[in-house]
């Protein structure tokens, strides 16, 4: 499972965003290779299915999830991203209870 080492954030302006998206978080490995783009959609915007193109995962989530995803990226490690069953997955490894930050 690829490990996320860095990320960048991009917001799309205008009433329709860009290519049906309002914002995007790009996930990279330790060498700077793009692993995934997590794209966020406002209510009423077209919502694409997750897919894998080349080696880059495209995940699609509602804009209401943006802050939660950013919080995980800022505060947890290691973080893994992968594609299975026609869906993108982002998560942490098992952590001990009460470990703290």
Instruction: Indicate the domain borders of the chain.
Output: 3-92
- Read off the pLDDT of residues 47-59 as tens digits, 9 standing for 90 and up: 899 999 999 999 9
Helix (H, G, I), strand (E, B) or coil at 66: helix
| H/E element, 30 | none
Peptide linkage before 78 cis (omega within 30 of 0)? yes
Q: Taking a C-beta distance cutoff of 8 angstroms, is the pair 37, 7 a contact?
A: no
Q: Which residues of the chain have pLDDT under 50?
A: none
pTM: 0.90
pLDDT at 99: 65
């Amino acid at each position: 499972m690829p490990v996320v080492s860095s990320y960048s954030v991009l917001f799309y302006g205008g009433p329709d965003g860009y290519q049906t998206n309002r914002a995007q978080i790009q996930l990279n490995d330790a060498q700077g290779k793009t692993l995934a783009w997590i794209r966020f959609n406002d209510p009423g915007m077209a919502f694409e299915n997750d897919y894998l193109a080349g080696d880059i995962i495209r995940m699609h989530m509602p804009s209401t999830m943006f802050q939660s995803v950013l919080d995980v990226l800022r505060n947890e490690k290691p973080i893994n991203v992968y594609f299975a069953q026609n869906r993108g997955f982002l998560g942490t490894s098992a952590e001990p209870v009460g470990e703290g930050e």
